[in-house]
Amino acid sequence: MTFSITARCEKTGMLGVAVSTARPAVGSLVPYVKSGIGAVATQATVNPFFGLDGIKLLAEGKSADEVLENLLASDPDRERRQCAIVDKNGNAAGFTGKDTVPWQGHKIGPQFVAAGNMLTGPETIDAMFETYQALENESLPERLLAALISGQEAGGDKRGRQSAALYVVDQEEYPIVDVRADEHHDPVQELIRIYKKCQEDLFPYTAKLVKRKEEATK
């Protein structure tokens, strides 16, 4: 019931997830991301432990493929799940269970995974995939947002629109971007509006927080 993109920036090592769905507060359920460790998106019939346990397994040094294998092996309802994983080295893995709702599927690219289920068709994933690859010179948050926009414009969730989220980490344990549109008639556009406001007034502030921390440790 969701479309998402999970990725690692090849240049900076940033990790993040962008996601939208026709259910409220998707940002509270789908993305699990930890600096220097990896990123996981759990969707379709969400299993929060795919995110929680996935991050723990990634922290142990397991690759994205190994983590996915572990998660699926321990879940008797795995065919109802969809999952995307990118590890700290950029290895990417994805799974779409056969009992998820059509249209469903995922595509794995260099250090990213585009995935979705209950979509209008494969064009949603194709658009996200192509847009993300075409913007290799943009920052990770900008690439993820652009991919999400493309997915929505190509069709998105066939039930409609309700929420969207963007979560990105860099070198700190806290996120550099954690933006949500939890209930809105056009959540991806609302997410963009909020993101732009954050660019004006929040991100410059959090950048100073990082700088003060670095100075304090000298």
Q: What is the mean pLDDT of residues 113-123?
A: 95
* % of the chain surpassing 70 pLDDT: 95
Q: How far apart are CA 12 and CA 184, in angstroms?
A: 32
pLDDT band (50, 70, 90) for residue 129: very high
* Helix, strand, or coil (residue 115): strand
For residues 68 and 155, which has the higher predicted lDDT (pLDDT)? 68
pLDDT band (50, 70, 90) for residue 157: confident
pLDDT at 218: 47
The mean pLDDT of the chain is: 94
Our count of domains for the chain comes to 1
pLDDT band (50, 70, 90) for residue 211: low
Q: How far apart are CA 165 and CA 151, in angstroms?
A: 14
Is residue 7 over pLDDT 70? yes
Nearest of 92, 75, 101, 106 to residue 39 by alpha carbon: 92
Q: The whole model's pTM is what?
A: 0.94
For residues 156 and 104, which has the higher predicted lDDT (pLDDT)? 104
For residues 215 and 181, which has the higher predicted lDDT (pLDDT)? 181
pLDDT band (50, 70, 90) for residue 216: very low
Q: What is the mean pLDDT of residues 108-137?
A: 97
pLDDT band (50, 70, 90) for residue 217: very low
Is residue 14 over pLDDT 80? yes
> Does a cis peptide bond (omega within 30 degrees of 0) precede residue 103?
yes
pLDDT band (50, 70, 90) for residue 208: confident
Domain containing 57 equals 2-216
Burial class of 196 by CB neighbour count within 10 A (0 to 12, 13 to 18, 19+) = exposed
Is residue 212 over pLDDT 60? no
- Domain of 132: which CATH number? 3.60.20.10
